[in-house]
């Protein structure tokens, strides 16, 4: 009996000693299993995997190619499409969580010029949004108004588009499916939480995306959209006159002072793709080598190996940005609660946001065709810059460009 007890204790000790090695083996094995299924699905869908990059590594043991972080790209139903898995990292330290979302995307091939934003929202998200004063467009369809948060520059135009019977029908079906619709001016995607790796489910989501994209394009032609480029230029001229800014009509470029800060607007029109770039430039660099980037898989890997990331103690801000600069005390002094709140809001409303030691730049994914919307964007940029530089209109000096 005593011998048996010794054997059991020894076996337990060996098992405990081997547990870390078992974790290592499993950490290598699991991503490769995902990757094999992902590659098989790409072949089944007739799509090409993008080239492997080191930044596709999500975890330390997410090893060599292939990887589920390689997006599938190609054409389906006459449209450019993409299937991918995106990673969202929330929190830090012991509270750090990694969330996966699988999507199927279809590009329209041209901008709608509506500033359209359609996203699924639950009852809790709607309550929180209402408390925060975030009002969306009500289109008069109870099912869609409950399931989706809808925004756009011209509510009437948005309402006409989304209540077109064949568009509303597809949106209702999508709002109740596993993959739910997200619509923008240039593209739409159907997205599900978690890793979805099998071809049948991905194919269904891709078919939903292509089908809804076709319906929206057809409805957009049916309701007769206005000339987007002319609307952009009219909005820029109106804001230039109201704010005393210089307007270069040939470049579609605005520049000047707003609330003490030098601001610029560039209306980007390349073929059928239109978007807006807003910039505020500081009179002089902050002198702290400030750089804010969006956290991603590569930055998460860098944190694991001790790369610099200054956390300010604001959970929302720390989850949205990787902060670099020196000295750390000066960086913290610049990133006040007001600055953090403004930057987090600005990032939420931008397709891309760049914060450097001498400027802030935001790319907005749609053309700003209404003067009021453009002016609000300029004010938001100027106020972010002023908060970072800790200046007021009376203290600002001439721009040193």
Q: How far is CA 25 from the centre of its chain?
A: 34
For residue 327, whether the previous peptide bond is cis, meaning omega lies within 30 degrees of 0, is yes
Position 15 pLDDT exceeds 50: yes
Separate counts of helices (H) and strands (E) for the chain: 12, 16
Write down the pLDDT at residue 33. Answer: 87
Q: Which residues make Cβ contacts (< 8 Å) with residue 17, sequence separation at least 6?
A: none
Helix, coil or strand: residue 218: helix
Mean of per-residue pLDDT scores for the chain: 80
How far apart (Å, rounded) are the C-alpha atoms in residues 233 and 247?
Answer: 10
Q: Which residues make Cβ contacts (< 8 Å) with residue 320, sequence separation at least 6?
A: 294, 295, 343, 344, 347
Write down the pLDDT at residue 395. Answer: 41
Write down the pLDDT at residue 32. Answer: 82
Share of the chain above pLDDT 70, in %: 78
Q: What is the mean pLDDT of residues 326-331?
A: 91
Position 321 pLDDT exceeds 60: yes
Write down the pLDDT at residue 145. Answer: 93
Write down the pLDDT at residue 391. Answer: 55
Position 312 pLDDT exceeds 60: yes
Q: Give pLDDT tens digits for 29-42.
A: 577 888 889 999 99
Q: Give pLDDT tens digits for 198-211.
A: 999 999 999 899 98
Q: Which residues make Cβ contacts (< 8 Å) with residue 152, sequence separation at least 6?
A: 114, 115, 116, 117, 137, 158
The DSSP-derived string for 42-72 is HHHHT-EEPPP-GGG--STT--SS--TTSPE
Q: Give pLDDT tens digits for 41-65.
A: 999 899 999 886 655 444 433 445 6
Q: Give pLDDT tens digits for 79-137.
A: 899 999 998 887 777 778 889 999 999 999 888 888 899 999 864 445 444 444 456 88
């Amino acid at each position: 009996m005593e011998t048996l007890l010794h054997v059991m204790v020894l076996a337990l000790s060996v098992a405990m000693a081997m547990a870390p090695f078992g974790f290592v083996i499993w950490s290598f094995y699991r991503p490769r299993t995902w990757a094999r299924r992902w590659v098989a699905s790409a072949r089944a869908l007739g799509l090409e995997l993008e080239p492997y990059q080191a930044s596709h590594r999500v975890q330390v043991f997410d090893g060599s190619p292939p990887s589920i972080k390689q997006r599938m790209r190609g054409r389906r139903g006459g449209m450019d499409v993409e299937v991918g898995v995106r990673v969202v990292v929330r929190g830090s330290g012991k509270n750090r969580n990694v969330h996966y979302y699988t999507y199927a995307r279809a590009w329209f091939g041209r901008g709608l010029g509506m500033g359209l934003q359609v996203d699924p929202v639950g009852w809790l998200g709607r309550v929180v949004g209402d408390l925060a004063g975030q009002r969306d467009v009500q289109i008069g369809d109870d099912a869609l108004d409950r399931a989706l948060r809808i925004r756009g520059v011209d509510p009437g135009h948005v309402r006409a588009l989304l209540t077109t019977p064949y568009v509303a029908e597809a949106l209702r079906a999508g709002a109740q499916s596993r993959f739910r619709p997200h619509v923008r001016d240039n593209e739409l995607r159907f997205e599900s939480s978690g890793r979805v790796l099998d071809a049948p489910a991905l194919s269904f989501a891709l078919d939903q995306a292509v089908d809804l994209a076709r319906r929206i394009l057809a409805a957009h032609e049916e309701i007769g959209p206005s000339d987007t480029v002319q609307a952009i230029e009219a909005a820029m001229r109106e804001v230039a006159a109201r704010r005393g800014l210089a307007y270069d009509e040939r470049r579609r470029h605005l520049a000047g002072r707003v609330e003490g800060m030098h601001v610029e607007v560039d209306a980007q029109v390349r073929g059928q793709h239109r978007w807006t770039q807003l910039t505020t430039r500081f009179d002089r660099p902050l002198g702290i080598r400030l750089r804010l980037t969006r956290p991603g898989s590569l930055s998460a890997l860098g944190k694991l190996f001790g790369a610099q990331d200054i956390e300010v103690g604001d959970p929302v801000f720390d989850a949205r940005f990787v902060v670099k600069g020196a000295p750390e005390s000066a960086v913290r002094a610049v990133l006040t609660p007001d600055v953090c709140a403004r930057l987090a809001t600005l990032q939420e409303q931008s397709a891309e946001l760049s914060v450097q030691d001498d400027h802030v730049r935001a790319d907005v994914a749609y053309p700003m065709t209404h003067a009021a919307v453009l002016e609000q964007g300029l004010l938001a940029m100027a106020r972010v810059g002023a908060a970072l530089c800790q200046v007021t209109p009376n203290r600002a000096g001439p721009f040193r460009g």
